[in-house]
Amino acid sequence: MVFKSHSLALLALVLASLLINAVAEPVTIKLTFEPDLKNGQRIYEICASCHLPEGWGNNDGAYPQIAGQHQNVLIQQLLDIRSGQRENPTMYPFVQERTIGGYQSLADVVAYISTLPMHPQHSAGPWRDYSDEYKAGEVLYKQKCASCHGNRGEGNNDTSTPKLYGQHYPYIKRQINLVKSGQRIVNSLMQAVVQKLTDEQLKQVINYISYLPVPEEERAPSLNWRNTDFY
Amino acid sequence: MTKKINRRTFLQSSAALATATISGQGYAQSTSGESPVIGGKFSSPAPIPAKKGPRVVIVGGGWSGLTMAKYLKKTNPKFDVVLLDKNQQFVSCPISNVWMADQVNLDFLTHSYVEAAQNNDYLFLNATALELDRTSKILVTTLGSIKYDYLVVAPGIDYDYNRIGVDNPEDEYALRMNYPAGFSSASEIMAIKHKLHNFKGGTLVLTVPSGNYRCIAAPYERACMAAAIFKKHNIRGKILLLDMNSDIRIKAEGFKKAFAEYYGNIIQYEPSAEINGVRVVDKEIETDFDSYQFDDAVIYPPVRASSIIEEFGLSDESSLQKEAAIDPFKYHLVDDESVYVTGDSRSQPFSKSGNTAHSEARYVAEVISAHADGKQIEWRSPQTMCFSGVRIDPLESMSIIAFYKYDEAEKSFAFDRSHLMDKWNERAGQAGLAWAEGMYRDMFYS
């Protein structure tokens, strides 16, 4: 595997607590870590016991595709699950400092995951590209999603916006349902978009997303490809 | 077993009580207006609030029932969910082997049904299920009867001592008490822990059953943990691991390597040991070819679905382990879409483990929820995930994760993707404990 290395900026919000009745202003600390991919690989072994060495997730959506996701998106999820902001009871103990380690370890492991090639045949929605539903989803995607997630669904590492191409259709569907029912908290813009669309429109747009092509250089060559770091 | 006598006694006394208590009780299920009738006898309603939505009653608060109760409420908040268990608190069977070797304390394994029910907005009843009337949709329990809209039966396993040639109640009882298997109750695992720590030397026999027994890796892990205890406390004992199978069933290379590298002078592994009798008084196990003397033993016989499955008339006659006759994808009885069987009493050949039951219950909760809405959902595979302790202080483990797929040609389930990590290390030891903690967190505290 080719290791590429980006420095990873981490924003930590610290609430300074003052005595008596003073109003405490939030203090934002920006920390930057130089990821160590070798250590990231070692730490990923903990993750691999559920996410498997390839990080491809499941076609039925029980696990997401994490391989190749932007590192800032991944670290945001780890921090949100660690704090309980994103509810995931079964993953919670794995991302605590006592199991996975401190910020440096988080930086190392997300950098490693972002280098993994993606599933060559992730699961797609029910409507192929000649259908009316597909086309309706395309129109909605371009109106409502593309400005943040990009025309190709490429996301944006700098703004921690998830890459959408390659994600399993049932996983996106489940997450969107959680957002819609208020069980998963996301930023207010995303929240508003999801609330405005009908269930039918959401299904169409998720269907369209599931057909966004994964660039060849980010895809594993075949379904039989195995992450030799772990075999 | 005294269950039948208890039930008869209960029904007689409850029939006598019924006339006195059934009228004027706030607990009566007033919406239906019917009096629960079982076999022509009345029984008083269970002491729980009147239902506030479609009532789902779950028999058994193990990994399947606890997960089912939580996710039924989460998927469909209108459901009125009642979880039944005969125990007052939950003691985890997964991780109990490493608890025997003092790698976690009893608090780690022990959790409260009261907290689970409060945190997840369902009702808990500390009662045993006695009788099922599917025509009237009534379950009779030791605390009274409950009318259900859906019933989930998740009672787990019972031991099948017949399959090791023990066929009289005296010998079976002696085995249960003297050489408990440790896969169905907290009392059993406590007795085994004391047995291991207080072993006076000589030969300790551990057995591995045949068939689809609960937790495939656990008997081999237990051999490692027992040997580690002997080493740590300088107990001069030999462990004779009698396996009814022709080879180690899972993580075979890893276990063989561990037996040889760390416990070579303690563990003696004997495959293909078809046990056909145990002479309790002589402390002797008989196999097809040999007989083995022991000083003490932990005898794990083959398992079957909980006897309640058979007593309620839900079992598949052709099933060797008397498992339930259910639809393999939707889990309801073949002839009754209001009754479901999940967990280790299921008929599918999935591994009988906590993680399998947990992931399966999350799916079946969605199946039942969809059924109530007149919908259907796509089948999802359960996930079998299993960590096995190999060394202690610090704990070092191996792991495996596996998914299933349905083979149309074979008309049965087979393993789909799986990943084995059989190079044990401390990180996997930590991961195994984090896994358990996450599961307890999901079932009890979030």
Q: pLDDT tens-digit profile of B33-60?
A: 445 455 444 479 999 999 999 999 999 9
Residue A223 CB: number of other CB atoms within 10 A? 10
Average pLDDT over residues A84-98: 96
Tell whether the torsion through CA atoms of A202, A208, A211 and A213 is positive or negative: negative
Confidence grade of residue A21 (pLDDT, cut at 50, 70, 90): low
Output the furthest CA–CA distance in chain B (Å, rounded). 70
Average pLDDT over residues B254-283: 97
* Tokens encoding A191: 């929240």
Tell whether the torsion through CA atoms of B106, B107, B108 and B114 is positive or negative: positive
Q: Any CB–CB contact under 8 A between B427 and chain A?
A: yes
Q: Do B427 and A91 touch (CB under 8 A)?
A: no
Q: Do B430 and A49 touch (CB under 8 A)?
A: no
B388 bridge partner residues: B398
Residue B177 CB: number of other CB atoms within 10 A? 11
Confidence grade of residue B26 (pLDDT, cut at 50, 70, 90): very low
With beta carbons under 8 A apart, name residues in chain B contacting A50: 385, 401, 435
Q: Any CB–CB contact under 8 A between B272 and chain A?
A: no
- pLDDT on residue B7: 38
Rounded Cα–Cα distance for residues B325 and A134 (Å): 41
With beta carbons under 8 A apart, name residues in chain B contacting A52: 401, 417, 419
**How large is the angle between the packed helices A169-180 and A188-196, nearest 10 degrees?**
100
pLDDT > 90? residue A70? yes
pLDDT > 70? residue A126? yes
Q: What is the least distance, in Å, from the CA of B213 to any CA of chain A?
A: 23
For residues A129, A134, A137 and A138, what is the CA-based torsion angle, rounded to 10 degrees?
20
pLDDT > 50? residue B110? yes
Report the residue from A49, A90, A99 with minimal CB separation from B439: A90
Q: pLDDT tens-digit profile of B57-103?
A: 999 999 999 999 999 999 999 999 999 999 999 999 999 999 999 99
Classify residue B326 by its DSSP letter: B
Q: What is the least distance, in Å, from the CA of B381 to any CA of chain A?
A: 8
Q: Could you tell me what percent of chain B has a pLDDT over 90?
A: 88
Q: What is the least distance, in Å, from the CA of A87 to any CA of chain B?
A: 9
Confidence grade of residue B22 (pLDDT, cut at 50, 70, 90): very low
Q: Do A48 and B421 touch (CB under 8 A)?
A: yes
Q: Any CB–CB contact under 8 A between B236 and chain A?
A: no
Q: Do B441 and A42 touch (CB under 8 A)?
A: no
Q: pLDDT tens-digit profile of A98-117?
A: 999 999 999 999 999 999 99
B238 bridge partner residues: B203
Average pLDDT over residues B119-133: 97
Q: What is the least distance, in Å, from the CA of A24 to any CA of chain B?
A: 30
**Residue (of B33, B75, B53, B22) closest to B367 by Cα position:** B75
Considering only CB atoms, which residues of chain A are within 8 Å of chain B?
42, 45-46, 48-50, 52-53, 58, 60, 62, 87, 89-94, 96, 98-99, 170, 230
Q: pLDDT tens-digit profile of B362-413?
A: 999 999 999 999 999 999 999 999 999 999 999 999 999 999 999 999 999 9
List all residues 6 or more positions away from B152 whose beta carbon is below 8 Å from its beta carbon.
B56, B57, B58, B59, B65, B68, B339, B340, B341, B342, B364, B368
- pLDDT on residue A72: 97
Rounded Cα–Cα distance for residues B201 and A55 (Å): 48
Q: What is the DSSP string of B114-153?
A: HHHHHHHT-EEE---EEEEETTTTEEEETTEEEE-SEEEE
Q: pLDDT tens-digit profile of A176-198?
A: 999 999 989 999 999 999 999 99
Task: Tell the burial category of B119 from Cβ atoms under 10 Å away from its Cβ (0-12, 13-18, 19+).
Answer: middle
Q: Do B419 and A92 touch (CB under 8 A)?
A: no
In this structure, are residues B137 and B34 in contact, taking their beta carbons and an 8 Å threshold? no
Among A8-12, A130-134, B25-29, B163-167, which stretch is predicted with the lowest mean pLDDT?
B25-29
- pLDDT on residue A231: 83
Classify strands B123-125 and B129-133 as parallel, antiparallel or unpaired.
unpaired
With beta carbons under 8 A apart, name residues in chain B contacting A98: 430
Does the A132-213 domain belong in CATH 1.10.760.10? yes
Residue B378 CB: number of other CB atoms within 10 A? 10
Report the residue from B378, B438, B442 with minimal CB separation from A94: B438
Provide the mean pLDDT of chain B: 91
Radius of gyration of chain A (CA): 19
Q: CATH topology for A8-119?
A: Cytochrome Bc1 Complex; Chain D, domain 2 (1.10.760)
- pLDDT on residue B417: 86
Nearest residue in chain A measured CA to CA from B77: A181
Residue A26 vs residue A17, higher pLDDT: A26
Residue B336 CB: number of other CB atoms within 10 A? 14
Radius of gyration of chain B (CA): 23
* Tokens encoding A140: 């909605």
| Contacts made by residues A92-98, CB under 8 angstroms, sequence distance 24+ | A92/B437, A92/B438, A92/B441, A92/B446, A93/B433, A93/B434, A93/B435, A93/B437, A93/B438, A93/B441, A94/A46, A94/A47, A94/A50, A94/B431, A94/B434, A94/B435, A94/B438, A96/B434, A98/B430
Average pLDDT over residues A154-166: 97
Q: Do A89 and B430 touch (CB under 8 A)?
A: no
Report the residue from A45, A52, A58 with minimal CB separation from B427: A45
Q: Any CB–CB contact under 8 A between B399 and chain A?
A: yes
pLDDT > 80? residue A68? yes
Output the furthest CA–CA distance in chain A (Å, rounded). 66
Q: What is the least distance, in Å, from the CA of B333 to any CA of chain A?
A: 25
pLDDT > 60? residue B8? no
With beta carbons under 8 A apart, name residues in chain A contacting B415: none
Q: Do B387 and A45 touch (CB under 8 A)?
A: no
Numbered ranges of CATH 1.10.760.10 in chain A: 8-119, 132-213
Residue A57 backbone zone (phi > 0: left; psi -120 to 50: alpha; other: beta): left
With beta carbons under 8 A apart, name residues in chain B contacting A119: none
- pLDDT on residue A4: 52
In this structure, are residues B215 and B352 in contact, taking their beta carbons and an 8 Å threshold? yes
- pLDDT on residue A61: 87
Q: What is the least distance, in Å, from the CA of A93 to any CA of chain B?
A: 5
- What domains does chain B contain, in order, with CATH numbers? 3-156+306-372 (3.50.50.60), 161-305 (3.50.50.60)
Residue A17 CB: number of other CB atoms within 10 A? 7
Rounded Cα–Cα distance for residues B425 and B103 (Å): 15
Confidence grade of residue A12 (pLDDT, cut at 50, 70, 90): low
Rounded Cα–Cα distance for residues B84 and B74 (Å): 18
Q: Do B442 and A230 touch (CB under 8 A)?
A: no
Q: What is the least distance, in Å, from the CA of A7 to any CA of chain B?
A: 26
A15 bridge partner residues: A26
Report the residue from B431, B437, B441 with minimal CB separation from A46: B431
Pick the residue of A49, A83, A99, A173 with the most B CBs within 10 A to test the interface with B by mutation: A49
With beta carbons under 8 A apart, name residues in chain A contacting B399: 49
Rounded Cα–Cα distance for residues B123 and B129 (Å): 15
Q: pLDDT tens-digit profile of B189-214?
A: 999 999 999 999 999 999 999 999 99
φ and ψ at residue A9, rounded to 5 degrees: -95, 135
pLDDT > 80? residue B150? yes
- pLDDT on residue A129: 85
Q: How far is CA B108 from CA B92, B95, B389, B436, B439, in A?
A: 9, 9, 16, 9, 12
Q: What is the ipTM of this complex?
A: 0.88
Classify strands B267-270 and B237-243 as parallel, antiparallel or unpaired.
parallel
Q: Do B438 and A90 touch (CB under 8 A)?
A: yes
Q: Do B446 and A89 touch (CB under 8 A)?
A: yes
Q: What is the least distance, in Å, from the CA of A74 to any CA of chain B?
A: 19
Residue B5 vs residue B88, higher pLDDT: B88
Q: Any CB–CB contact under 8 A between B15 and chain A?
A: no
Q: What is the least distance, in Å, from the CA of A96 to any CA of chain B?
A: 9
* Tokens encoding B223: 């051999």
Peptide bond into B394 cis (omega under 30): yes
In this structure, are residues B326 and B347 in contact, taking their beta carbons and an 8 Å threshold? yes
Mapping DSSP to helix (H, G, I), strand (E, B) and coil, where does residue B383 land?
strand
- pLDDT on residue B10: 40
φ and ψ at residue B430, rounded to 5 degrees: -60, -45
Mapping DSSP to helix (H, G, I), strand (E, B) and coil, where does residue A13 land?
strand
Q: pLDDT tens-digit profile of B417-446?
A: 889 999 999 999 999 999 999 999 999 998
Rounded Cα–Cα distance for residues B287 and B271 (Å): 11
List all residues 6 or more positions away from B51 whose beta carbon is below 8 Å from its beta carbon.
B29, B31, B80, B147
Rounded Cα–Cα distance for residues B147 and B80 (Å): 11
